[in-house]
Chains A and B, each alone.
Chain A
Amino acid sequence: MANAEVLQLNRFSRMDDTISAENRIIAWPRMGRIDIPLKALLLSLGAKIVIPPANSNKALELGVKNSIEGICLPYKLNLANYIMALENGANTLMMFQAPGSCRLGNYTKMAQKTLKSMGYKFDMVVFDMYKSKMKQTLQAFWHVTRCINPWRYYKGFSLGFNKFFAIDEAEKLLFYTRPREIHKGEAEKYYNKWLKIIDETNSVWGAKQLCRKIRKDFKKIAIDKNRSVPVVYLLGEFFVLLDPYVNQNIEKKLGDMGVEVRRQIMFSEWLEHVLKPSLFYRKESHRERCVRYAKKYMKRAIGGEAIETIGDTVYAARHGVDGVIHIMPFSCMPEIVSQNILSKVSKEENIPVLSLVLDEQTGEAGYITRIEAFIDLVKRRKSKLKKKKEI
């Protein structure tokens, strides 16, 4: 059967080869801070790169203009990133995908068609992150750079990974310090300073030291340890969580309101879990923990981050977290399922949950009002519970 033949190949990886390796100028879609580690990786493999400008209103407008109405927000921004990168001289676009998750698996297919019909000429390199992960990732990077020096791969991946860890470490410390700091804005300054240092680090040894140095440096910020700070878990869809433009910098807003945010999806943890061979990955991954906790409500994973959302909410409720904010793009399929389930979880586990749906029309004022109201509720609930305990 012809069908069987097609299945033999990996249908979802795509590696165009019309441009020779030395002429390639590589670009990838933006999401939060992933440009820093990827830049380090590709530069150490000897590639030329273009980094498209960060997501902004202009990018969103461009994306909305060139995509269909029904598609979700992340795609629109991805497309805009591609267009901006191609305008800036890129000719090779890289993207990963995970078939079986949701519409994400179809992004590259659609983007390619749209860009071709717009008249751009480019190569698309897509690698599958579902199974056979590390192998295909390496293959994709070999394909775009044709680099055969193993030391460079070691350097690139080590730099990349360590930078991911460093960024996430800095972010975690920022979330912790921001609501507690005595001089407003100090933590933010430290964070920005460290982002710059992370970006400039260019040796494997230096990258490995980053985490330790960041931890040491953040201790210098004067904090008020006795302040009563409610803890809120931030969870939901991957892209929306990680991109500060899309979620309108919700972490900063919450931090300024005096709330400690704990974002549940950290890119480095996810990447480590996905890429590391299971032999070396012994600890319980975030996803496994979620599956364990979500068992009462969900028996099977249904794609996307639905099971993570449920599992984390249950985990939060059982570990004394004060509230959960769940964010998702409009018409996100897996998150609609979890939104349906969350109301029951919230009731049974006794934890306040706020679901925020984001799209290109989200206004900032209404968004802030809802968050403020929710935080008021969380704070009041916390003080009530405290009083009860004291009695």
Chain B
Amino acid sequence: MNNQRKGRDININMACSKSNLNIGIPRAISYYNNYPFYYGFFSKLGIEIILSDKTTTETINNGSKYVVSDTCLPIKVFVGHVINLLDKGCEKIFIPSIQSTDYKINNCSKIRGLPEIIRNVLDKPFQIIEPTLDKTEGIGLKTFCFDIAKEFGITDKNLIESAISYGWNIYNKFCEMTKSGIPQQEALKNAINENIIKKNVELVRPISVVIMAHGYNLFDERISLNLINKLEKMGVKVFTSLNITRNEAINSIHELGEIQYWANELDLTGTAAYYMLNKKVDGIIALSAFGCGPDSLMVDEIQYHAKERNMPMLHLTIDEHTGEAGFITRIEAFIDMLIRSKRKLLQKQHNNLKILREPKKTIEKNKVLTDSLA
């Protein structure tokens, strides 16, 4: 019972007339980027959302039992969340198959095949709500949403369309807040209550880094081992993919001379490229799951460009066995190196303290830190 209450902490005060309609949404993969939209859409349709609990080690262990060992960590976590929802008594579970987000811009095969994996791996009776979003084949968001509504017997066109626009409304609020620098969870909480909060006075921090990672890796506190908080405690300003707009990310990729290939490339290459090109950060941290196909290419791409521009970079690989101690050591070493090189740079450039109030963020002779630091 306690678990159930915890899971529903976000979606309170929903006066739904048809309370027998409910849907389980696993707190993994597309949850971290798209949940505001899902929330708006489902709540307008009068469907109650049951969220799975936050990721724990148990979730990962549960998930790993069902899939082959080569599968990457986020998918194992996803399976764990689905099991968690089934334990809560959920009968309908929302597992979208996001194939491509633009013409010939496809997602990773494992995300495309999520419903296929779940359907075949879990031998339990439940219904999967599995809409497809495939813009290469011309299946857009509208069809995606209509497919969902159909599963609940809702065919009222006007209602569905208003639900879509309400979803966008909440999603935009979420994006507006995250762009101004509000942390993801806080922004999510306020967005679904239709609030917009403004950020208080920003603390000036000496060092800033950008993290290039998928939302489902970075904002999941168990998977990322609370990376953002750890960095902020060290006095580092952290930029993530949520801090920039879609267009900025796309343009930065073009500016680097690359083409977007993966659907979630904006979260990684786009974000890193934006901050690298605008020289807003002192270093790049790449966080990727072991065995991740797209990441292996995107991180390499950024590594190549970072080397050219003398931008320090740290590549962190995580899997279910990653120990926290070794993880912290690597981050600390990286941050120490950033601080030292920045201090050196400033000392070299200016001899008076006046400049230190507004440090010019130009980076020159830094050493490129590669994976070999550990």
Binding site for B on A (CB under 8 A): 1-3, 6-7, 11-12, 68-72, 99-100, 102-103, 105-106, 109-110, 113, 117, 130, 297-300, 302-304, 306, 330-331, 333-334, 336-337, 339-341, 343-345, 355, 357
Chain A: which residue is nearest B72 at the CB level?
Answer: A336
Q: Is the CB of A337 within 8 A of B251?
A: no
Q: Is B300's beta carbon under 8 Å from chain A? A: yes
With beta carbons under 8 angstroms apart, the residue of A6, A333, A343 that contacts B254 is: A6
Interface residues of B in 99-147 (CB under 8 A from A): 99-100, 102-104, 106, 108-110, 112-113, 115-117, 119-121, 123, 130, 132, 136
B200 to chain A, nearest CB (A): 35
28 CB < 8 A contacts A-B: A2-B251, A6-B259, A68-B296, A69-B296, A70-B292, A70-B293, A70-B299, A70-B300, A100-B106, A103-B297, A105-B261, A106-B261, A113-B301, A117-B304, A297-B116, A302-B99, A302-B112, A302-B113, A302-B116, A303-B106, A334-B109, A334-B113, A336-B110, A337-B109, A337-B116, A340-B67, A344-B120, A344-B123
| Proximity string of chain B (273-292) to chain A, C-beta cutoff 8 Å, 1 when within and 0 when not | 00000000000000000011
Q: Is the CB of B254 within 8 A of A106?
A: no
A142 to chain B, nearest CB (A): 23
B74 to chain A, nearest CB (A): 12
B277 to chain A, nearest CB (A): 15
Chain A: which residue is nearest B112 at the CB level?
Answer: A302
Q: Is the CB of B68 within 8 A of A298?
A: no
Q: Is the CB of B110 within 8 A of A337?
A: yes
A364-B68 Cα distance, complex, nearest whole Å: 23
Q: Is B97's beta carbon under 8 Å from chain A? A: yes
Residues of the B chain whose Cβ atoms lie less than 8 Å from the Cβ of A12: 104, 259
A306-B108 Cα distance, complex, nearest whole Å: 13
Given contacts A11-B104, A297-B120, A299-B116, whether A68 and B261 have CB atoms under 8 Å apart is: no
A101-B373 Cα distance, complex, nearest whole Å: 34
Q: Is the CB of B110 within 8 A of A344?
A: no
With beta carbons under 8 angstroms apart, the residue of B97, B113, B136, B296 that contacts A70 is: B296
Residues of the B chain whose Cβ atoms lie less than 8 Å from the Cβ of A333: 108-110, 293
A107 to chain B, nearest CB (A): 9
Which of A297, A303, A340 has most chain B Cβ within 10 Å? A340
Q: Is the CB of A2 within 8 A of B254?
A: yes
Residues of the A chain whose Cβ atoms lie less than 8 Å from the Cβ of B261: 99, 105-106, 109
Q: Is the CB of B71 within 8 A of A340?
A: yes
Q: Is the CB of A339 within 8 A of B297?
A: no
Q: Is the CB of A344 within 8 A of B121?
A: yes
Given contacts A2-B254, A11-B259, A106-B297, whether A99 and B104 have CB atoms under 8 Å apart is: yes
Given contacts A331-B293, A336-B68, A339-B68, whether A303 and B117 have CB atoms under 8 Å apart is: no
Q: Is the CB of B117 within 8 A of A113?
A: no
Chain B: which residue is nearest A7 at the CB level?
Answer: B103
| Proximity string of chain B (349-368) to chain A, C-beta cutoff 8 Å, 1 when within and 0 when not | 00000000000000000000
| Proximity string of chain B (206-245) to chain A, C-beta cutoff 8 Å, 1 when within and 0 when not | 0000000000000000000000000000000000000000
Q: Is B250's beta carbon under 8 Å from chain A? A: yes
Given contacts A337-B116, A344-B120, whether A70 and B106 have CB atoms under 8 Å apart is: no
Q: Is the CB of A340 within 8 A of B109?
A: no
Q: Is the CB of B97 within 8 A of A300?
A: yes
Q: Is B202's beta carbon under 8 Å from chain A? A: no
Which of A71, A130, A299, A337 has most chain B Cβ within 10 Å? A337
Residues of the B chain whose Cβ atoms lie less than 8 Å from the Cβ of A331: 70, 291, 293, 296
Given contacts A331-B291, A340-B71, whether A99 and B117 have CB atoms under 8 Å apart is: no
Closest 10 pairs between A and B when the two form their complex, measured CB to CB: A70-B296, A302-B113, A333-B109, A302-B112, A334-B109, A337-B113, A333-B293, A341-B120, A100-B106, A344-B120
Q: Is B295's beta carbon under 8 Å from chain A? A: yes
A61-B92 Cα distance, complex, nearest whole Å: 50
A300-B117 Cα distance, complex, nearest whole Å: 12
B39 to chain A, nearest CB (A): 26
Residues of the A chain whose Cβ atoms lie less than 8 Å from the Cβ of B71: 336, 340
Residues of the A chain whose Cβ atoms lie less than 8 Å from the Cβ of B292: 70
Interface residues of B in 293-344 (CB under 8 A from A): 293-297, 299-301, 304
A14 to chain B, nearest CB (A): 10
Q: Is the CB of B109 within 8 A of A130?
A: no
Residues of the B chain whose Cβ atoms lie less than 8 Å from the Cβ of A337: 109-110, 113, 116-117
